[in-house]
Chains A and B, each alone.
Chain A
Amino acid sequence: GAGVSQSPRYKVAKRGQDVALRCDPISGHVSLFWYQQALGQGPEFLTYFQNEAQLDKSGLPSDRFFAERPEGSVSTLKIQRTQQEDSAVYLCASSSLGGRSNQPQHFGDGTRLSIL
């Protein structure tokens, strides 16, 4: 399809395991964002890429969280040594222009992560 694609849709892991979440943005979109959405709350910013450069990672909650976008297209969010508080929906969004431009972000359907 033409939208943002995220996989897996659901992920269950035991506490302490590492997980990797994938995002395939809309083709040609320069900007890519990761957000975390806890139950009953709005999404919260984690990190931002412009092409392959990670320009803002101020929202990552700890050094257990790591994101990459090596070729400026697909991105992976990795969480090491998962904790129960990491349970949330992880949303990826992309937009067509980079830098200081007002363009709406388009979201994928998210990965629901449950840590047991």
Chain B
Amino acid sequence: DQQVKQNSPSLSVQEGRISILNCDYTNSMFDYFLWYKKYPAEGPTFLISISSIKDKNEDGRFTVFLNKSAKHLSLHIVPSQPGDSAVYFCAASDDSNAGNMLTFGGGTRLMVKP
């Protein structure tokens, strides 16, 4: 029973265009959401996060949107660059857990074509 789902295993985008990665969750107790980027043979790198009290958080080319009623979040990358090609993981945590352990989606592989 996956509590965090990324339904698109892969996404291909032209350089300079917008990349939109989507994530759905089922646990209404989740209150903190994060996006991580992963290159091969490396660990996940933190990109951006959002608390459930907000619906948008922006950091440079990266913006995360949260729709609590739909239990949906998305990551927008604009403009996309070839160096953005990686696997992106959505993750969520529940404040009622002692350590805020992360529950991850299965990842979306983004390919940005020059």
Which residue numbers of A lie inside 8 Å of B, CB to CB?
A: 4, 6, 31, 33, 35, 40-45, 48, 50, 55-56, 59, 91, 93, 95, 98-110
Partner of B99, one of A6, A50, A104, A108: A50
B114 to chain A, nearest CB (A): 26
Q: Does B13 sit within 8 A of A, measured CB to CB?
A: no
Q: What's the count of A-B pairs with C-beta under 8 Å?
A: 75
Kindly list chain B residues whose C-beta atoms are within 8 Å of the C-beta of A91: 43-44
Partner of A110, one of B43, B101, B103: B43
Which residue numbers of B lie inside 8 Å of A, CB to CB?
A: 4, 31-32, 34, 36, 41-46, 49, 51, 89, 91, 93, 95, 97-107
Q: Contact: B105 with A42, CB < 8 Å?
A: yes
Q: Contact: B101 with A56, CB < 8 Å?
A: yes
Give Cα A6–Cα B105 distance, bound, in whole angstroms.
23
Give Cα A56–Cα B100 distance, bound, in whole angstroms.
10
Partner of B107, one of A42, A55, A93, A110: A42
Partner of B100, one of A44, A100, A106: A100
- Beyond A104-B34, A110-B43, whether A45 also contacts B106 by CB under 8 A is no
Give Cα A55–Cα B107 distance, bound, in whole angstroms.
28
Q: Contact: A98 with B99, CB < 8 Å?
A: yes
A99 to chain B, nearest CB (A): 7
Kindly list chain A residues whose C-beta atoms are within 8 Å of the C-beta of B104: 35, 42-44
